[in-house]
Copies of this chain bind each other. A is one copy, B any other.
């Protein structure tokens, strides 16, 4: 892909910037930060940072994209290995709840995500297509497993898998908003409870979190 050394170096630097930005935002939070603030936190001047990105909006979009990239690497699952046909409801539950629980450790990223989610409603926003694709992809794998589990009778089939996927996505997003407003709220436990409602039962021997409210 990268044909010239200088170009490849630029790309590498770009990646490095994104990783650093992720660390900073996760650790120190994101309060509608300006490019300048982020630049300094990352060890560059404002102009130096924008040298690598078209605009502020594109910069922050790329940060979220990089987050996804790192998350899917660290969890050791890419699209090929994720959600095998043998996945049970409990497998999906563990994965989904785990992701949500992890989010509580990176408040700044959650805030950036939430902010960009609403800004990206504008079709012209650089993150618009990113969110469309990301959401669709997440719902897709989720719905696929739900569908198989419905066929097996582990989940009621009164609601189509795609709709169930939308509901879970909405709960994940919506709980983030509640949690930003009230940090004591247990996002993961609440999502876990939704699985209870879905299956009509507790997970097999799964340890329970504390109360959700």
Chain A contacts to B: CB under 8 angstroms:
31-32, 111, 114-115, 117-122, 128, 131-132, 135, 156, 158-160, 162-167, 169-175, 177-178, 180-182, 185, 189-190, 193-194, 196-198, 200-202, 211-213
Contact among B128, B171, B201, B213 with A160 in the assembled complex (CB-CB below 8 Å): B213
Asked if residues A156 and B200 are in contact (CB atoms below 8 Å), the reply is yes
Asked if residues B196 and A197 are in contact (CB atoms below 8 Å), the reply is no
Asked if residues B31 and A181 are in contact (CB atoms below 8 Å), the reply is no
Asked if residues A170 and B169 are in contact (CB atoms below 8 Å), the reply is no
Interface of A is mostly: helix
Contact among B166, B169, B175 with A212 in the assembled complex (CB-CB below 8 Å): B166
Using A118-B115, A158-B200, A173-B177 as known contacts, say yes or no to A190 and B213 having CB atoms under 8 A apart: no
Contact among B119, B156, B189, B202 with A197 in the assembled complex (CB-CB below 8 Å): B156
Asked if residues B182 and A170 are in contact (CB atoms below 8 Å), the reply is no
Using A135-B178, A174-B173 as known contacts, say yes or no to A197 and B167 having CB atoms under 8 A apart: yes
A–B pairs, 29, beta carbons within 8 Å: A32-B119, A111-B118, A111-B121, A120-B181, A121-B181, A128-B181, A132-B182, A135-B181, A156-B197, A158-B196, A158-B201, A158-B202, A159-B196, A159-B212, A160-B211, A162-B213, A163-B189, A163-B193, A163-B212, A164-B197, A167-B171, A167-B190, A170-B171, A170-B190, A171-B171, A171-B174, A173-B177, A197-B197, A197-B198
Asked if residues B178 and A169 are in contact (CB atoms below 8 Å), the reply is yes
A169 smallest CB distance to B (angstroms): 7
Contact among B114, B162, B166, B193 with A167 in the assembled complex (CB-CB below 8 Å): B193
Which B residues are in CB contact (< 8 Å) with A115? 118
A121 to B169, CA, bound (A): 21
